[in-house]
Amino acid sequence: MDVQYQWIPFAKMNDALWIACSELYSNHYGCWGSQAPSPGKRIRLSAKRLRTFLPEANSGAALAWNQADLIGYAFACFQEIEHCGRISWVTQLVVHQHHR
C-alpha cells in the first residue's frame, strides 16, 4: 500500500473533498451509544456541517490517500500566541477502520 499525504488549507477545500471527508466520517467514525436517540447506528455528519467546525483562516485538513481513496483526515488550526509561539490544535481525526 502506498499512502500519500496532503495538506489543504480550508479555504482551498472543494466540494468533492468535503463530501469525501463526510463519507469517511459517516462510515468509519463510530456508532451511537445505547442511551442515544439512534442506539447502535453510525454517527453521521454532512459535508455542510463539517465545514462549520473551524474558521477558514489558519485552518486546514491533513488528508491520507490510498490511491484515489481517502483513508484518513485530521482537521487542524494554528495560532500564534504572544510569549508562547505557534500552537496547533487537531479538532478531529478520522481513519478508515481497515487502515488503523
Query: Does the pLDDT of residue 14 top 90, yes or no?
Result: yes
Query: Does the pLDDT of residue 37 top 80, yes or no?
Result: yes
C-alpha distances out from residue 75 to 55, 83, 87, Å: 11, 25, 14
Query: Does the pLDDT of residue 1 top 80, yes or no?
Result: no
Query: Does the pLDDT of residue 22 top 80, yes or no?
Result: yes
> Is residue 94 within 8 Å of 72, Cβ to Cβ?
yes
Task: Give the cell for residue 48.
Answer: 455542510
Q: What percent of the chain has pLDDT over 90?
A: 77
Per-residue model confidence as pLDDT tens digits over 41-83: 999 999 999 998 877 788 999 999 999 999 999 999 999 999 9
